[in-house]
Structure 1
């Protein structure tokens, strides 16, 4: 069995859907423990997190507050989750941005 424990990707795509679909495959094929994509916005409709994933460390650029909790629910082995900005929609429809956040 081929094993890859850490993967770091820098993508210059305007739309990262292809990047995230490749990540879905990598998570299944290799038993990744660390995924670092600090210049890529998270797009949850383009990645399939599996409950069997052993991902322990995740670093991404931006995600929404809802996506943040979705990731936490999908990755039970996650120990560290770092994001640059967490986008929160206020009840009046305006977006607020939280500073860099790390969950450990």
Structure 2
């Protein structure tokens, strides 16, 4: 299922990772784990934020996907099922 992950990284935790030089590896690991079809990075609510759209093949992948964000970056996370326009058109066409 296509999912949108939005994570707002804790400023202190991500600053420490940046100072240690670990932030690029952290982001690369997240990208490798999720293999997103789209990835965006920027400030939101005063902190570093990433928004990824990726395929979640099985709900059992949720812990592996989110734990590093929660533990290492103390991030606030949202994980939402989403559709692209083609998915929406298909779903609306099935209306009876």
Q: Could you tell me the TM-score, scaled by structure 1's length?
A: 0.27
Rg larger for: 2
Q: Could you tell me the TM-score, scaled by structure 2's length?
A: 0.29
Name the structure where helix makes up a greater proportion of residues: 2
By relative contact order (CA 8 Å, sep 6+), the higher-ranking structure is: 2
